[in-house]
Amino acid sequence: MIKLLCVTAIAVLSQVLFAAEVYQASNKGLSTYEELVSSLEPGSVLVLGEIHDHEGHHNSHKRILEEMVAQGVSFHVGMEFFYYPSQSIVDQYLYNEINENDFLEQVGWGGFSFDFYRDKTLLPLETGGHTFAINAPRELTRFVARNGLEKLTPELQQLMPPNFELGDEHYYERFRQAVGGDHVPPEFLGKYFAAQSIWDETMAWQSLKAIDNSREQDVFVIIVGDFHVAFGGGLPDSLIARGASKVVTVSHADSSNMKEGDKLNWLEPHPEWGQRADWVVFADREESNLTRLACDLAQVNQE
C-alpha cells in the first residue's frame, strides 16, 4: 500500500512542484509536451538528450513517451546504455524470459540506477514497439581510446560501423573543450575523439537498421547523453549521413540555478555551433528529492 501511495504522490508532485519547461528553440517560444509530440511526423527519429544522473531529465523523457502513448504514436526506443551485441538479452527481458537482476548482470549494467531507465525500456511495448540495444560494445571503444583506430585488431574491426567517419571539426572543438582543452595532449585527444565518434556512428547505424525493419509510421526514439545531441555534429549528423530524413532533437538542460534570462540565452544560436536543438527542456535537479518527499508524505497519510 505504501509503495502505491508513493507512486501516486510522486506523480502528483512532479506535475505541481517541479514542472519542466519546454521550448521550441527556433522561435524561443514556451511550449508543451503535447505540442512537441503532436509535431512529430510519422517515421521521425526523435533524439532525447539527458544528463545521466538528472532525475528531472529522466522524468521529462518519461512524460514525452507517455504523451506519445496517449496520442497513439507508435514508437521504438534505442538505448545508449545497451550494447548492440546484447540485443538477444534485451529481447529476453522485454518478453519476461529472464528476470531484471539477471538481465542487468548479463548486459553489464553499471553506474546509474536502472530505476531511471526501466519505464523507458518497457513503454514501447504499449504501442507495439520494441527497445533496441544500439551502442558500440565497451571493448571496442576502450581499445580505441587507449590505442587508436590504426591498431584495431581484425576481431574488433568486425564490430565497427560500416563507412565510419569521425565527427566534424565543430564537434571536435566542443569535445576538446569538454575534456579539458589544452590540458589533454593531442595524441590522446585524437584517440578519445575517435572513441566518441564510434559511439555516435554505431548508434546511428544500429538505429537505422532497426528503422529499416519497422513500420513506416513508427517513430524511433533514441535515449542518449546530451553532448551527443546538442549542436549537431555528433549523433544527429551521423543519422542524417546514414539516411535518416526526419531527425528531431531535444536537448535537456539543468535549470536548477538558472534565471529566466539564462534560459533565453541558452536558446540563442551559438556563434560557432548554431542552434542547440529543435527543442530544449529545462528541468531542475531538485526533482531528485521528489521520491523521498513523496514517500514521506505517503507514510504520514498512512499513519
75-83: strand order across its sheet: 29-31, 21-24, 279-283, 247-254, 45-50, 219-225, 75-83, 131-135
Instruction: Say what the pLDDT of residue 286 is.
Output: 64
Sign of CA dihedral 191, 192, 193, 198: positive
Separation of alpha carbons 41 and 43, rounded Å: 6
Per-residue pLDDT of 116-152, as tens digits, reads 999 999 999 999 999 999 999 999 999 999 999 999 9
Collapsing DSSP to helix, strand or coil, 135 comes out as strand
Separation of alpha carbons 209 and 156, rounded Å: 20
- Domains in the chain: ranges and CATH: 1-18+285-303 (no CATH), 20-283 (3.40.50.11550)
45 within 8 A of 250, measured Cβ to Cβ? no
Length of the chain counted residue by residue: 303
Instruction: Say what the pLDDT of residue 256 is.
Output: 93
Residue found by looking up cell 555528433 in the block = 234
Residues of the chain below pLDDT 70? 1-19, 286-303
* Residue among 272, 266, 262, 187 at smallest CA distance from 233: 272
Instruction: Say what the pLDDT of residue 181 is.
Output: 78
Instruction: Say what the pLDDT of residue 15 is.
Output: 47
Instruction: Say what the pLDDT of residue 180 is.
Output: 84
Collapsing DSSP to helix, strand or coil, 43 comes out as coil
